[in-house]
Structure 1
Amino acid sequence: MVDNDSFKDPVAVCSQVEGVRLEREPNPGPDPARNRGALVAKAELLPFVDADCVVQPGWPRWSHWNSDDRSGSPTANRSL
């Protein structure tokens, strides 16, 4: 998770989810936060979720395998 000057401190949320690491991005805006996340990510699939979104369990896996684009880049140029 990348914190980009949140109103609420995300430490408590991150500590409840196994395997989540909190990164801080001092530059404001979604682009710097996403870039920070992409820089430190180690997973094969990199989902981006904004603070005003709620995802269901298994969402990244579902969106990858149910994509119309089987080229290995399931969400490129698409909003899911």
Structure 2
Amino acid sequence: MEIEDKVLVWRGILGVIAGIISYFIIHYAILIAILFYVASIFLVMYLYKRRDRSVVYFKGITILFATWFLILLILYNIQ
């Protein structure tokens, strides 16, 4: 699997975790999503030793926020 694909998988997983945490701490939902995005930047830089800005900063940002938002909506509608 390419490094770019691994970045997408990691950001998808972090988006799911951020969505679950945001459900329980709804007042800080957007802040939690942004914190998980920043954490994913450090995770990509540490695990894959990438300094390419397009991969580190932009690859998978929509996946992270889309999974965060969808998990938040699903959990909110289950209640």
Larger Rg: 1
Bigger relative contact order, structure 1 or 2, given CA contacts below 8 A and separation 6+?
2
TM-score (ref. length: structure 2): 0.28
Structure ranking higher in helix proportion: 2
Structure ranking higher in strand proportion: 1
TM-score (ref. length: structure 1): 0.28
